Amino acid sequence: AQKVTQAQTEISVVEKEDVTLDCVYETRDTTYYLFWYKQPPSGELVFLIRRNSFDEQNEISGRYSWNFQKSTSSFNFTITASQVVDSAVYFCALSEADLYNQGGKLIFGQGTELSVKP
Amino acid sequence: GAVVSQHPSWVICKSGTSVKIECRSLDFQATTMFWYRQFPKQSLMLMATSNEGSKATYEQGVEKDKFLINHASLTLSTLTVTSAHPEDSSFYICSARIPGTETYEQYFGPGTRLTVT
């Protein structure tokens, strides 16, 4: 069965600190997609990144970076030099490939609430 | 592009009444839409998958007679919470996929906050 685990429920850092949000997933499929979303207090989900299971290259986008390791089934997210505006709940999610393009359900982790203090 | 809207953004209703939430894809056609529910301080839980022109597929434990889903057009899916009770108070979020894409990315609406008094 599919499962996404974000063991860190809450993280609190001081501005300019680096912070890593952990994500561990379980799936029996060889083809799948991993996502990270940000949910600010307004509630609207903000898409951050998508990775397919065949692309293990790490990605960097500004202060954000992602480390995908299939060997440990992890897809961790690091924010460098955190800012107060980064305060939000962050969700990791998994979608298994659907050959008939009808499924692709997203399974979300429990979320990590990040609080960045000035 | 790929904008999804929801209406209303928030609603308060009395216990026992029904409330309808609309999810629209504004600039693309969506054969598949998803409905999620999120309780405070919790994750998003998929309620059902809505396919245009066919019956919705509900996740285990979701009452299909209570949460009626209609996907009558390629740009509109509705969720009706029938005979709402206070325990139905939650944040309801819809998402839509662009058909034919292989990336399985879902575009999320802004959510609807339902409070049942």
pLDDT > 90 in chain A, percent? 73
Cβ under 8 Å to A: B residues 50-69: 51
**Mean pLDDT estimate for chain A:** 92
**Mean pLDDT estimate for chain B:** 91
Contacts of B40 in chain A (CB under 8 A): none
**Can you tell me the mean pLDDT for A75-94?**
97
Rounded Cα distance, B101 and B80, in Å:
28
Rounded Cα distance, B13 and B80, in Å:
13
- pLDDT of residue A69 exceeding 70, the answer is yes
Which one is predicted more confidently, B40 or A96? B40
Q: Which residue of A has its CA nearest to B36?
A: A106
Q: Give the pLDDT of residue B86.
A: 96
Mutation for A interface: B36, B47, B91, B104, most A CBs within 10 A? B104
- pLDDT of residue A104 exceeding 80, the answer is no
pLDDT band at B54; cut points 50, 70, 90: confident
pLDDT band at A100; cut points 50, 70, 90: low
Rounded Cα distance, A60 and B66, in Å:
44
Q: Specify whether the CB–CB gap between B54 and A6 falls below 8 A.
A: no
- Bridge pairing between strands A10-14 and B19-25: unpaired
Helix (H, G, I), strand (E, B) or coil at B2: coil
Using alpha carbons, select from A105, A112, A93 the residue that is nearest to residue A34. Answer: A93
pLDDT, tens digit, 9 for 90 and up, residues B9-50: 999 999 999 999 999 999 888 888 999 999 999 999 999 998
pLDDT band at A103; cut points 50, 70, 90: low
| Contact assignment for B44 to A44 by CB distance below 8 Å | no
How many CB atoms within 10 Å of residue B72?
Answer: 10
**Can you tell me the mean pLDDT for A77-102?**
87
- pLDDT of residue B115 exceeding 80, the answer is yes
- pLDDT of residue B101 exceeding 70, the answer is no
- pLDDT of residue B113 exceeding 90, the answer is yes
Residues near A47 by beta carbon (within 8 Å), at least 6 away in sequence: A35, A37, B105, B107, B108
Q: Give the pLDDT of residue A14.
A: 97
Q: Give the pLDDT of residue B63.
A: 94
A45: distance to nearest CA of chain B, Å? 7
Rounded Cα distance, B15 and B85, in Å:
5
Rounded Cα distance, A18 and B34, in Å:
34
Q: Specify whether the CB–CB gap between A111 and A39 falls below 8 A.
A: yes
What distances in angstroms separate CA B72 from CA A12, B32, B47, B54, B63, one per listed residue?
A: 45, 11, 18, 8, 20
